[in-house]
Amino acid sequence: MAWTRHETGPSDDGRWSVLRIVTVLWIAACCGVIVMGLPRMYPKADQRLAYAFREPSMDLDKPFANCAQAHAAGFYDIPRASPAYDGGQDGDNDGIACEPDPGDPPPFLGRLKTIAKRLKPVT
């Protein structure tokens, strides 16, 4: 006698689909409670998270002399809205200055370090 595997699907009695729906609703409700309750429990959390994920170049007050200095300081992909943006450093005129060279480390690594640094508890 050969054993066969029966897949659960629409022909089932509906238990699995109901369980999945209930699970998804439960997770959504928990996420909603966390999102809605976090600002009430920790009023400064919103500001801190906004600051942590803010574009680091927005905190600069003037452009770098050249992209090599910007890269050495850990700044890549400086957007046009930043005070550090210099149109002369935007070679393709796409609104992003000091884009990384192919041999440079990925810019998101520096960004992750900045986010981690900004999220560290203040003592």
Q: What is the pLDDT of residues 28-71, one digit of tens each?
A: 999 888 888 877 877 777 788 888 888 888 889 999 999 999 88
**Domain residue extents for the chain:** 14-43, 44-123
At 84, is the pLDDT very low, low, confident or very high (cuts 50, 70, 90)? very high
- Mean confidence (pLDDT) of the chain: 82
> Under DSSP, is residue 96 helix (H, G, I), strand (E, B) or coil?
strand
Q: Do the beta carbons of residue 73 and residue 84 sit within 8 Å?
A: no
Which positions ≥6 away from 82 have C-beta within 8 Å?
55, 57, 58, 60
**Contact at 8 Å (CB) between 94 and 117?**
no
116 exposure class (CB count in 10 Å sphere: 0-12, 13-18, 19+): exposed
Gap between the Cα atoms of 54 and 50, Å rounded: 6
Q: Is the pLDDT of residue 97 over 90?
A: yes
pTM above 0.75, yes or no: no
